[in-house]
């Protein structure tokens, strides 16, 4: 059913001038909402705060965006704005810059990876599935020990035989709400464990080997692994793959015709934007191409969408879970309320006068912006940054997409400025990074680098030959990585060393550095540089990166992608027996803020411990 009328404004901006295309003024009636439907966010009918003909994307906004893109090196940006009140839906779109290195212009239909803005789709899918079970529409049965499927249902009961964590109490007591509100005790450090051949179920089975930083419900700490786990729950109990369930129950019913989890569908449409590194200013590939990886990342960050489609998603949210174009309930009201209500404190102090305390629901942050209630979430995968924000009391929603990753923050500053201008608020300083948590993958999987390396004098202790560290190291949660020296003759090491030499400024490598590779998604290579030696250990700095020895895209010069690399590297300590030139293993140490590991041995104190399982000798 098509709406009888609609207002659409489109701004295509590719120079310093803005060109607005205004469709015939029209409205989408919302007054025929289903009987019993509640008002948005329990605040009554949202108010547009004036004439609905008022533009959100003005010439001033267009000029502001154009200057930001030029200043921050962002090749392309797309914005969708939707306004919903009691009897109309109004949409506006802005597009600036290019979506490809060939110079194809960004449009409202351009597709972007939306990263962690996908989490709201995952939570909606879980809630829809719960509603199916509550009303007898389920197509699979729950385990015999489970009487109902709710936010309080234990994950162990839903995934018996597969679910286990390092902490026994968390294994037994964690429920669906816990894992979706980021209070499981696991941290985003373990994003480093994602494998090139991973799957949600395989990850769930490996999480028992990943150390907890906190106890269950002790502290909010952003975690992608649990959203991947929840996608496995949906697949198990919907009777179909998670991605198919979301397409059928959300994308299709909202007429989000271009939105997909499939990288190949996005590329075949010729609408998928290229991706760029903000730090290297180079084009990079989409990191989650391939059938396995697109399914793996789906729940935590796999949606690929456009400004056009995301305004349909936002219009439904602003209408309390009901599609305003069809009056069909997409997200049950109880689910909408549960996922947009704050369950955990994220930022416990207001950033005066900008924001209030910030809480996290499920897939959404909730705060106030200059006194106005705001629900939002950011997202970022390599090469893309996204922000999705809506203000329930004003019926205003904004989706912003950039095709370059950090640290430019343009995807947050643009909607911030639109909100200020549209609501006639005084311009505050640009939105500070610390006013909300970094909910993109670009916050670094290893999010903290301690500069407090062990204080030791290398000369006071024996220093092992660098060659004894060459080999394969294993952790059952992370699988393997390989370390080589410049003298290692193994075929795999020759390939690794060739890759590193290609990106070296003069083609030479340091004989005192260990060079390695991994089979992980976020990093292709790594290197370790010795810091100091102590009694029974040696300390290194680990630098994980992704190498492009042949460049990428039209630029074939080699380069190193470092946007996911901690600026100071990660502290590594290796357990050694100096008299026999023996390395037992190495651990990532103090790699995140918060509680330090305890114990007598490096293995006990390490955040992640890798056992050396195979020696590779010099040629």
The pLDDT assigned to 119 comes to: 98
pLDDT tens figures, 584-612: 999 999 888 777 788 889 999 999 999 99
pTM over cut 0.95: no
User: Using CA atoms, how far apart are residues 370 and 521, in angstroms rounded to an integer?
Assistant: 39
Asked if 12 and 99 count as a contact pair (C-beta separation under 8 A), the reply is no
User: Using CA atoms, how far apart are residues 494 and 306, in angstroms rounded to an integer?
Assistant: 43
Radius of gyration of the chain (CA): 25
- Which pair of tokens denotes residue 86? 């009691």
The pLDDT assigned to 429 comes to: 56
Question: What are the start-end ranges of the E strands in 405-478?
Answer: 471-475
Q: How confident is the model at residue 331 (pLDDT cuts 50, 70, 90)?
A: very high
User: Using CA atoms, how far apart are residues 500 and 543, in angstroms rounded to an integer?
Assistant: 13
The answer on pLDDT for 232 being more than 90 is yes
Which architecture characterizes domain 77-122+240-446 according to CATH?
A: 3-Layer(aba) Sandwich (3.40)
- First CA to last CA distance, the chain: 71
Nearest 5°: CA angle at 157, between 156 and 161?
Answer: 60
Could you count the other beta carbons within 10 Å of the beta carbon of residue 137? 10
Burial of 205 (0-12, 13-18, 19+ CB in 10 A): middle
Average pLDDT over residues 89-103: 97
Average pLDDT over residues 77-106: 95
The pLDDT assigned to 151 comes to: 98
The pLDDT assigned to 73 comes to: 92
* Choice between 479 and 14, residue whose per-residue pLDDT is larger: 479
Contact residues for 233 (Cβ-Cβ < 8 A; gap 6+) = 126, 155, 158, 159, 176
The pLDDT assigned to 370 comes to: 86
* Choice between 31 and 498, residue whose per-residue pLDDT is larger: 498
Average pLDDT over residues 471-479: 97
Mean model confidence pLDDT for the chain: 87
The pLDDT assigned to 535 comes to: 77
The pLDDT assigned to 439 comes to: 63
The answer on pLDDT for 31 being more than 90 is no
**What would you measure as the largest C-alpha separation in the chain, in angstroms?**
83
Residue showing tokens 């950090």: 406
Asked if 312 and 241 count as a contact pair (C-beta separation under 8 A), the reply is no
The pLDDT assigned to 22 comes to: 27
Q: pLDDT exceeding 90 applies to what percent of the chain?
A: 76
Average pLDDT over residues 298-304: 98
pLDDT tens figures, 411-450: 999 999 999 999 999 886 555 544 556 666 655 444 444 4
pLDDT tens figures, 153-188: 999 999 999 999 999 999 999 999 999 999 999 999
Q: How confident is the model at residue 460 (pLDDT cuts 50, 70, 90)?
A: low
Asked if 593 and 448 count as a contact pair (C-beta separation under 8 A), the reply is yes
The pLDDT assigned to 567 comes to: 85
- How many helices (H) and strands (E) in the chain? 15, 25
Q: How confident is the model at residue 40 (pLDDT cuts 50, 70, 90)?
A: very low
The answer on pLDDT for 18 being more than 90 is no
The answer on pLDDT for 72 being more than 80 is yes
Give the lowest-confidence range in 22-26, 220-224, 345-349, 460-464: 22-26
DSSP three-state, residue 560: strand
Q: What is the DSSP letter of 574?
A: E
The pLDDT assigned to 593 comes to: 77
User: Using CA atoms, how far apart are residues 248 and 269, in angstroms rounded to an integer?
Assistant: 20
Residue ranges per domain, the chain?
77-122+240-446, 140-238, 456-613
* Choice between 449 and 474, residue whose per-residue pLDDT is larger: 474
Average pLDDT over residues 261-266: 97
Average pLDDT over residues 6-23: 33
User: Using CA atoms, how far apart are residues 416 and 117, in angstroms rounded to an integer?
Assistant: 17
User: Using CA atoms, how far apart are residues 346 and 359, in angstroms rounded to an integer?
Assistant: 5
DSSP three-state, residue 588: strand
Contact residues for 617 (Cβ-Cβ < 8 A; gap 6+) = 467, 470, 488, 489
The answer on pLDDT for 222 being more than 80 is yes
Question: What are the start-end ranges of the E strands in 24-111?
Answer: 76-85, 88-97
pLDDT tens figures, 100-134: 999 999 999 999 999 999 999 999 999 999 999 99
CA–centroid distance for 239 within its chain? 26
User: Using CA atoms, how far apart are residues 155 and 167, in angstroms rounded to an integer?
Assistant: 14
DSSP three-state, residue 618: strand
The pLDDT assigned to 27 comes to: 29
- Ramachandran class of 252: left when φ > 0, alpha when ψ lies in -120 to 50, beta otherwise: alpha
Asked if 95 and 105 count as a contact pair (C-beta separation under 8 A), the reply is yes
User: Which of 1-15, 416-430, 568-582 reaches the highest mean pLDDT?
Assistant: 568-582
User: Using CA atoms, how far apart are residues 184 and 216, in angstroms rounded to an integer?
Assistant: 5
Nearest 5°: CA angle at 565, between 227 and 196?
Answer: 50
The pLDDT assigned to 275 comes to: 98
**How far is residue 321 from each of residues 134, 245, 397, 516, measured CA to CA in Å?**
18, 17, 14, 49
- In the beta sheet, which residues pair with residue 399? 80, 388
Asked if 442 and 386 count as a contact pair (C-beta separation under 8 A), the reply is no
Contact residues for 280 (Cβ-Cβ < 8 A; gap 6+) = 559, 560, 561, 562, 563
Nearest 5°: CA angle at 120, between 414 and 165?
Answer: 125
* Choice between 45 and 310, residue whose per-residue pLDDT is larger: 310
């Amino acid at each position: 059913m098509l709406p009888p009328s609609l207002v659409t404004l489109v701004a295509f901006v590719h120079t310093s001038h803005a060109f607005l295309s205004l469709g015939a003024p029209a409205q989408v009636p919302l007054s025929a909402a289903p009987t019993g439907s509640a008002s948005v966010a329990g605040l009554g009918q949202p108010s547009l705060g004036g004439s609905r003909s008022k533009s959100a994307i003005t010439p001033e906004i267009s000029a502001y965006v154009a200057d930001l893109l030029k200043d921050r090196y962002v090749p392309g940006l797309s914005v969708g704005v939707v306004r919903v009140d009691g009897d109309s839906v109004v949409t506006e779109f802005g597009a600036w810059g290019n979506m490809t290195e060939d110079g194809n212009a960004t449009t409202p239909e351009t597709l972007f990876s939306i990263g962690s803005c996908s989490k709201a789709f995952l939570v909606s899918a879980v809630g829809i599935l719960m509603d199916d079970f509550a009303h007898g529409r389920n197509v699979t049965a729950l385990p015999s020990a489970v009487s109902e499927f709710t936010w309080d249902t234990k994950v162990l009961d839903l995934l018996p035989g597969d679910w286990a964590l390092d902490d026994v109490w968390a294994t037994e007591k964690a429920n669906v709400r816990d894992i979706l509100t980021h209070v499981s005790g696991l941290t985003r450090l373990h994003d480093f464990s994602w494998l090139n051949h991973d799957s949600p179920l395989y990850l769930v089975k490996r999480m028992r080997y990943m150390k907890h930083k906190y106890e269950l419900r002790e502290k909010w700490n952003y975690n992608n692994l649990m959203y991947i786990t929840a996608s496995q729950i949906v697949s198990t109990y919907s009777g179909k793959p998670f991605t198919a369930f979301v397409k059928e129950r959300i994308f299709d019913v909202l007429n989000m015709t271009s939105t997909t989890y499939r990288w190949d569908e996005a590329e075949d449409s010729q609408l998928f934007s290229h991706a760029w590194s903000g730090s290297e200013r180079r084009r990079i590939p989409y990191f989650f191409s391939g059938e396995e990886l697109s399914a793996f990342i789906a729940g935590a960050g796999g949606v690929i969408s456009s400004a056009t489609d995301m305004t349909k998603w936002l219009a439904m949210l602003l209408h309390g879970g009901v599609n305003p174009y069809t009056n069909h309930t997409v997200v049950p009201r109880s689910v909408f309320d549960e996922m947009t209500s704050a369950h955990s404190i994220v930022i416990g102090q207001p950033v005066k006068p900008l924001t209030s305390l910030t809480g996290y629901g499920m897939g959404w942050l909730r705060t106030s912006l200059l006194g106005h209630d705001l629900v939002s979430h950011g997202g970022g995968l390599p090469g893309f940054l996204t922000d999705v924000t809506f203000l329930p009391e004003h019926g205003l929603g904004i989706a912003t997409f950039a095709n370059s990753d950090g640290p430019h923050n343009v995807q947050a500053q643009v909607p911030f400025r639109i909100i200020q201008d549209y609501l006639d608020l005084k311009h505050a300083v640009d939105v500070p990074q610390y006013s909300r948590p970094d909910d993109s993958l670009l916050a670094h999987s290893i999010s903290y680098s301690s500069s407090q390396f062990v204080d030791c004098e290398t000369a006071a202790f024996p220093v092992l030959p660098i060659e004894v560290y060459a080999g394969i190291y294993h952790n059952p949660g992370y699988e393997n990585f390989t370390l080589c020296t410049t003298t290692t003759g193994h075929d795999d090491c020759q390939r690794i060393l060739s890759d590193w030499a290609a990106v070296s400024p003069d083609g030479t490598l340091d004989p005192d550095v260990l060079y390695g590779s991994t089979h992980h998604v976020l990093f292709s290579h790594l290197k370790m540089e010795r810091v100091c030696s102590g009694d029974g250990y040696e300390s290194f700095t680990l630098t994980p990166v992704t190498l492009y020895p042949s460049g990428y895209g039209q630029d074939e010069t080699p380069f190193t992608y470092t946007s996911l690399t901690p600026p100071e590297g990660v502290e590594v300590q290796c357990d050694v027996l100096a008299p026999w030139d023996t390395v037992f293993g190495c651990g990532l140490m103090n790699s995140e803020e918060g509680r330090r590991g305890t114990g007598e041995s490096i293995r006990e104190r390490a955040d992640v411990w890798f056992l050396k399982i195979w020696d590779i000798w010099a040629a």
